[in-house]
Amino acid sequence: MPSVSDWKIPSAAQPKPDDYDYDLDQALTAMVGLRAIVPSDAFTAETLGTERAGHGVLIRGNGLVLTIGYLITEAETIWLTLSDGRSVPGHVLGYDQETGFGLVQALAKLDVPALAIGRSSAASVGERVVVGGAGGRARSVAARIVAKQEFAGYWEYVLDEAIFTAPAHPNWGGTALIGPDGALLGIGSLQLQHVVDKGEPQNINMIVPIDLLQPIFDDLLNTGRRAGPPRPWLGLYATEVENRLVIVGLADRGPAKKADLRNGDIVLSVAGNEVSDLAGFFRRIWAQGQAGVDVPLTIYRDGATRDVRIKSSERGRFLKGPSLH
């Protein structure tokens, strides 16, 4: 992902104030640039890097910033850059592995209006939206919602209904999806390729819907994590290949690696229930109980079927917690 300081959206793709029924420029002042420094020995350092840059959006006037969690996971230093060029330190309050949301508290007075929270469930496919980044219109994209559907990520992640927008924002992490009324509808998470009507692949953004925040907001704010027992985590990366679920990576020191799961293994079933898609695979794992439960898998390897029992863990146990300096 490029740095938030060395790029600009082509003018033709930038949002124009006259196209919206709210004050576009004021809404975009709620966007902040975010830079995170992560220790080199952090669990996520190898996969996500030790220096991460993206965006966040001010959702309360007291300096509370919502972003995408992977930017701030295990971060020891946070800097927020405001639309007027000021940089202020921030503190990680928490992040949620199930939704992907992260919260940061600015450690200085911002004097910036917050963006109102909207309802992503009310957003419609085809609706005109803005994918807003730190830096105003020059770093924001005029887009439309092209789909609302299930999304499964290879890292043991499922959203029942994610929002997809096009054209894609090139620096998507932590961007704000702003709806027709100027309210926040979601937070940018990924850039994907989507083929429309057998044509050329089109880049689109996957957005985490804002409606997923309200049920966990108070927990993240007060304890840094959602309440309740954590899901079982196996520490594997999987993908779908011709209706087969193939293991393509293993987290170092994770449960799946300890159980001798290997790259190239094909997963046939979980606890005797056949699985053929990522979302179904992960949901079957989570259905076995809370973190720590044994998860029985049937896999295919080297021409033979074999049963493997993996003692799951809690993902958060592998991560460095936030620390206030």
Radius of gyration of the chain (CA): 20
Domains of the chain as residue ranges with CATH: 15-114+216-223 (2.40.10.10), 120-211 (2.40.10.10), 236-316 (2.30.42.10)
pLDDT of residue 1: 41
* Helices (runs of H) and strands (runs of E) counted in the chain: 6, 18
Give the pLDDT band (50/70/90) at residue 201.
confident
* Least confident window among 101-105, 160-164, 240-244: 240-244
Q: Are 170 and 134 in contact (CB under 8 A)?
A: no
The span from the CA of 317 to the CA of 325, in Å, is 22
Alpha-carbon separation of residue 4 from 33, 81, 98 (angstroms): 7, 10, 26
Task: Supply the mean pLDDT for the chain.
Answer: 95
Residue 93 has pLDDT above 80, yes or no: yes
How far apart are alpha carbons 117 and 213 in whole angstroms? 10
H-helix or E-strand spanning residue 144: strand 141-153
Give the confidence band of 5 by pLDDT, cuts at 50, 70, 90.
low
Ranking 5-14, 240-249, 261-270, 300-309 by mean pLDDT, the lowest is: 5-14
Looking at the predicted structure, is the pLDDT value of residue 58 above 50?
Answer: yes
Other beta carbons within 10 angstroms of residue 187's beta carbon come to 30
Question: Does residue 324 have a pLDDT over 60?
Answer: no
Predicted pLDDT at 200: 80
Q: What is the pLDDT of residue 7?
A: 80
- pLDDT of 173-199, one tens digit each? 999 999 999 999 999 999 999 876 667
Q: Given this model, what pLDDT does residue 196 score?
A: 66
pLDDT in tens, 207-260: 999 999 999 999 999 999 999 999 999 999 999 998 899 999 999 999 999 999
**Mean pLDDT of the region 14-43:** 97
pLDDT tens-digit map of 114-154: 999 999 999 999 999 999 999 999 999 999 999 999 999 99
pLDDT for position 2 = 42
Note the residue count of the chain: 325
Percentage of residues in the chain having pLDDT higher than 90: 91
> Average pLDDT of 35-62?
96
E strand or H helix at 64: strand 64-68
Helix (H, G, I), strand (E, B), or coil: what is residue 110? Answer: coil
